Structure 1
Amino acid sequence: MRLKILKKLFYRIRKRLNSNVCLEIFEIEGGKSEVLLPNGLNAKVVSTQSELQSLQLKNCYCLGIVEKEIEKGSQILLFVENSIIVHFSCFTNKHMYAGEVRRTFCFPKGSLYIYNCYTKTSHRNRKLYFYALSIISGQSKGEVFIASLVENLGSIHIIKKVGFKSVGLIYYTSFMFFENVSSELLQTKIEIRH
């Protein structure tokens, strides 16, 4: 346990002392797609602890994360198999802090931001991420945004496959205690705050 805490602390210090990150922002107009899920795959959106408890899920790594995201006021799309969360995708219509670039994104009113998506290792390559993004963007009435680190090529491939278009890049560089943030946002109404 101590080793895990020390590794986490070392990682945060190293990241703070020297970091060079590029985050790509994507957008899609909501409500344009309808998704047919394969047999046996059920999606459930939860936004309260009571909705989550009603699913009677087994305790697992994902459950704690989902509970924390609900406390923040987010909605979570879940794929559950045998009472275990096998995929979750969080989304919100509120301002959202992006730890990768240490800034808060402010999106246009009526839009959604998808973040913190995770698929259990044993369930990867089953298109769960694709289905989750398609469901969330298909049910939204306004624009839907998502961000990904540019080196996360697998995620970017799926994001583009769903129909999201790149609307800009955000660069974050830090050395010691100096940091620089710059952006190339294309015709979008996203505001970035410190």
Structure 2
Amino acid sequence: MKTAINTYSKTDTGILLAKNILKLSIAGFFIGSFHAQDAWVGVILALYLAYSLVKKFRIHAEDRYVFLTGSLLGGLLGVCCEAWGIYYGHWEYHDLGGRTFPYWLPFAWSLAFTFVYQLEKDLFASLRMERTRDKVILTLLVALIFPTYGEIITIQMGVWTYAWPYQFFGVPLLAIFLLVVFHTGVNYLMVQICRRMGWQNEVFHPA
């Protein structure tokens, strides 16, 4: 019985990872293919974000306020980081007709939070994680692997380029480190917000 449970858990986790890799790949190829029409890309991402939020509230999910707060926080902080990087020439977006800031960026950062959060939540459940140390390690791995993979796709499709050296398929080691810092930093802020608001949550404030 124990072997069967472990096998099911591994299979379930593998399917979960495969689905999320596919989802991230589709998003990356979509942005990469249509990045020159950034306004339309922004509209599509905004509609998808709105659909995700409405769906959460319509089903009265317990984490709907966490989902909303995190997406707003991720979008706001992501835009601040982008403005800093673009202004100082650390990276550059292409094919924008003289503009430097794509319209779709705020929605992409908001959706990045919802993607990472939902993946962490599902992995915690799939792997039956209870210890805080294990959850922190998994959170760091998710923040390291998945955002980097998404950036590799869009960079290779000509969406933008980094000015920093020591690159891995177009993504500098410094950028990978900063992605981990950003996503874990947002998670830390969400932990504090959930504690302050009394929101019980599997990822940020478990009972």
TM-score (norm 2): 0.29
Question: Which structure is richer in relative contact order (CA contacts within 8 A, separation 6 or more)?
Answer: 1
TM-score, length basis structure 1: 0.30
| Higher-helix-fraction structure | 2
